[in-house]
Chain A
Amino acid sequence: MTEPLFARGQMAYSLAFHIVFAAVGIAMPLMMVLAEVMWLRTKDDGWLTLAKRWMKGTAVFFAVGAVSGTVLSFELGLLFPSFMEKAGAVIGMPFSLEGFAFFTEAIFLGLYFYGWKQLKPWVHVACGVVVAASGALSALFVTLVNAWMNTPCCMEPIDPLGAMVTPFAFHEVVHGTLAAYMATAFAVAAIHAWQLLEKPGDPFHLKALTIALVVAVPTALVQPLAGHHAGQVVAVHQPMKLAALEGHVKTGPRAPIHLGPVDIPGGLSFLAFNDFDAVVKGLEEIPQADWPHPIVRLSWLAMVALGTLAAAWAALTALLVWRNNRQLPRDRRWLWATVLLGPAGYIALEAGWVVTEVGRQPWVIYGVLRTHDAVTPVTGLWAPFAGFAVIYAGLAGVVAKVLYDQVKAT
């Protein structure tokens, strides 16, 4: 491997690692607060137990999320100094706001986790609400940075506020935040559905599954729509990314879409521009050396397939609950489906980021700065690459083990 590849690789796995913990940190506070509110309203102590159990699991994710995020904020400069030299003044604004969101989150997290005795119940709930809100806010701000990298602007003359509202900002924030809630809720639903297969009718796991579904079903139903909108914005601003997604080489009108062996003429033109006759640009427009890596198309197919499957499951679940007089389905086949779909959200989320990030290549700031030109001049990058890879792989294993033990103890 070459030095730039080590830098890109380290950035990629650091982000792929962090995003899992960040998504948990965004979604779990919401679910914990929901459980706690149920406890305060029904006085059923099962809800309190649930909130506390979830809290114990989440604490581990929070800490690892915080330290891996710290690594990222340094890595931007350690690995891509000329990127930060160019971008720092423009996108420092959302990063600074994010900094305060982290502060708020960490402070109220301390109060929420350790203040059960010291704080009055509703004050405690309010602290949880602040944690949930500031977690979502930090995601919002950092996603604005990514949107700017995809559709950069406001550099000459410099306009840091304008740089926060770029054409990609809306869909990335909406689709990306939904993904965090959806992925986490799917994983949580799967854990408790799995426990219900072992202990049918267990009230604790039924409660947990209920809250997970309240988050999972609506987000899964909306997500494909948000994704479709994202695709339409990509078609306008990054036509080559769209071409890479569809493996579309020849520029032309009535571009077809391939569904397995079947071709729908004009399908791609319609999906991208709402018009069967629209011209869709193909990869032939750029030199072959600049074509995005084939993993972009693979990730894209994975995200769309899993998203569609998840939406179908959500529709079925909604139907079953409605037909069942608002009771959770007890059918073991449904529970199995829920278990099997557990990783789907996270796989789609990672795949979606690969689409966005690798699909942006060879640019780090789209059309402005090439990734190659942004890499640090420091040599020997294999060492931090290997070191952090070992650390992160180890941490992933330990986190999984801690979580497994905690679930088994319920």
Chain B
Amino acid sequence: MILTLALVMLAALVLYAVLAGADFGGGAWDLFAAGPRAKAQRELVSHALAPVWEANHVWLILIVVILFTAFPPAFAALMTALHAPLMLMLAGIVMRGSAFVFRQYGKSGNEMWGRVFAVASTVTPVFLGMALGAMSTGGAWHGVFPLCVGLFSLSLFAMVAAVFLTVEAPERALQDDFRLRALGAAIVSAALAAVTAFVAPRPFVPLPAAASSVVLGAALLGALWLRRYGAARPLAVALVTLVVIGWGYGQYPYLLVPNVTLHAVAAPEPTLRLLLPTLGLGALVLFPSLFWLMRVFKTVGR
């Protein structure tokens, strides 16, 4: 039961990294919008985010809720050890969401809110990554390793966002802009992954995972090169999934290295026994609705 709940949290983290990650990455591409089509790039990002970003960010809340319900002492320990990066991440989350709607619905200052949205979208994933990285270093969050995880998260999110945007772009030129960006971000991500693995405090990523991520990464680069966007999208999703699962595997059985393990901090049986079916029932409502939302607003296939 404990392991199942941990896996549910990991799955939610995968979904957060893919869906909300793409939203953050989109904001980063707003910041780095350039060239003759800079305005069109920003509009595409905004159009892609608007209907879904609030739903996408609920995955984070779900993770937090499961964490404090199923592993209350771990929640307390994490919130104490990671106090600073999490506060910074929250400030980023608040500014990102607020600036996005102010730009969309306000009458004045839209330029400035666009900037705020873009900057907040870019720094927030770094703090998120630093917090995740610090879970492996006993809470020390300003070392080289957490910083690498933070930058890696940003580049990974930017990569997914660019791949998704190639599929959603209404015209060839814009598609090509994001193709180049996706290629660039994929290469930067690979480099950062190598550095991160090198500075990791202990052998982290299991060899099979590392090997398959190399294969997936190569396939992704190939698909982008050949403009096979329909194939690139699932490959990018698979790559992020693999990275998050690899992180979870490396972290197991610790929530906070070196002394908070999953089993030591689980909530009493009755709570766990109730939580699982609740999550199951919730999923029955959640997934069909989410699927419908994506069907209505997202380009399927192509």
Could you tell me which A residues sit within 8 Å of B by CB distance?
56-57, 59-60, 62-64, 66-71, 73-78, 81-82, 84-90, 92-93, 95-100, 102-104, 106-111, 113-115, 118-119, 157-161, 376-378, 384, 387-388, 391, 395, 398, 401-402, 405-406, 409
In the complex, A3 Cα to B240 Cα: how many Å?
40
- Are B75 and A84 neighbours in the complex by a CB distance under 8 Å? yes
Q: What secondary structure prevails in chain B residues at the interface with A?
A: helix
In the complex, A98 Cα to B58 Cα: how many Å?
11
Taking CB as reference atom, which chain A residue is nearest B279?
Answer: A96
In the complex, A89 Cα to B90 Cα: how many Å?
24
A-B contacts counted at CB < 8 A amount to 207
- Are B73 and A110 neighbours in the complex by a CB distance under 8 Å? no
Taking CB as reference atom, which chain B residue is nearest A390?
Answer: B91
- Are A402 and B106 neighbours in the complex by a CB distance under 8 Å? yes
Tell me which residues from 18 to 76 in chain B have a Cβ below 8 Å from any Cβ of chain A: 50-52, 54-55, 57-58, 60-62, 64-66, 68-73, 75-76
In the complex, A106 Cα to B69 Cα: how many Å?
22
Residues of chain B with a CB closer than 8 A to A60's CB: 101-102, 105
Contact with A along B106-119 (1 / 0, CB 8 A): 11100000000000
In the complex, A266 Cα to B46 Cα: how many Å?
64
- Are B90 and A77 neighbours in the complex by a CB distance under 8 Å? no
Taking CB as reference atom, which chain B residue is nearest A100?
Answer: B282
Closest chain-A Cβ to B253's Cβ sits at a distance in Å of 20
- Are B86 and A96 neighbours in the complex by a CB distance under 8 Å? no
- Are A99 and B62 neighbours in the complex by a CB distance under 8 Å? yes
> Apart from A59-B105, A81-B80, A377-B80, what are 20 other A-B pairs with CB-CB below 8 Å?
A60-B101, A62-B54, A62-B101, A69-B61, A73-B64, A75-B90, A89-B72, A93-B69, A96-B282, A103-B289, A104-B286, A107-B293, A110-B54, A118-B297, A158-B267, A159-B270, A387-B91, A391-B94, A405-B108, A406-B105
- Are B83 and A88 neighbours in the complex by a CB distance under 8 Å? no
Taking CB as reference atom, which chain A residue is nearest B96?
Answer: A67
Residues of chain B with a CB closer than 8 A to A388's CB: 91
Q: Is B301 an interface residue (CB 8 A)?
A: no
Select one of A56, A78, A115, A387 contacting B296, CB under 8 A.
A115
Closest chain-A Cβ to B203's Cβ sits at a distance in Å of 31
Residues of chain B with a CB closer than 8 A to A104's CB: 285-286, 289
Q: What secondary structure prevails in chain A residues at the interface with B?
A: helix
- Are B70 and A66 neighbours in the complex by a CB distance under 8 Å? no
Give the interface centre of A59, A75, A99, A157 by most chain B CB atoms within 10 Å. A99
A to B CB contacts below 8 Å, 5 in the list: A57-B105, A60-B102, A96-B279, A103-B286, A406-B107
Contact with A along B272-302 (1 / 0, CB 8 A): 0011001100100110011011001100000
- Are B61 and A102 neighbours in the complex by a CB distance under 8 Å? yes
Residues of chain A with a CB closer than 8 A to B297's CB: 110, 114-115, 118
Residues of chain A with a CB closer than 8 A to B78's CB: 77
Contact A76-B83, Cβ < 8 Å, known A59-B105, A395-B98, A402-B105? no
In the complex, A107 Cα to B140 Cα: how many Å?
37
- Are A92 and B69 neighbours in the complex by a CB distance under 8 Å? yes
